[in-house]
Amino acid sequence: MNNLLPIHYFLLLAALLTQPSLFQSSYHEYQEALSKSILFFEGQRSGYLPQDQRLTWRANSGLSDGWSYNTDLTGGYYDAGDNVKFGFPMAFTATMLSWSVIEFGDSMPPDELRNSLVAVRWATDYLLKTVSQPDRIFVQAHFN
């Protein structure tokens, strides 16, 4: 059994860390925590990875997701270190991350703001694919 937490828990952590007044920590510690939280998203990516992928141990994966239904379901994020992508937790994660960027993006270092926006885009591009067929919504994909 995999002991990794679902991706939306890390998003909640990132949202809480955007309010440094709640904690007795320095800006440097906040920035490091935010950076590592966003880096976690890159480690959970599925599909064809971009050239600027910071985690070099991660390779392309799930490249045939959706093919049996004549649909491209590549991309998105694995849920908890396994090979499953769940639509509802990913939609929640994308929503919370988007909300964090809207509320606190001005306080983020420019590189982390960009990485956060890329993380949102990675999820939403996938979610749009899950509703690309008439009368069908894909809510789960499993990579074999």
43 lies in a domain? yes
pLDDT (tens digit per residue) in 88-106: 999 998 998 899 889 888 8
Give the C-alpha separation, 121 to 33, whole Å: 21
Phi/psi at 47 (5° precision): 105, -160
Cβ burial of 92 (10 Å; 0-12, 13-18, 19+) is middle
In the chain, the number of structural domains is 1
Neighbours of 46 (CB within 10 A): 24
93 lies in a domain? yes
1 lies in a domain? no
pLDDT value at residue 20: 54
52 lies in a domain? yes
- Rounded to the nearest integer, the mean pLDDT of the chain is 83
Domain extent at residue 120: 7-142
Token pair for 45: 């990516």
2 lies in a domain? no
Of residues 141 and 72, the one with the higher pLDDT is 72
pLDDT (tens digit per residue) in 19-70: 655 545 555 677 777 788 889 889 999 999 999 999 999 899 999 999 988 8
64 lies in a domain? yes
pLDDT value at residue 1: 44
pTM of the predicted model as reported, rounded to 2 decimal places: 0.78
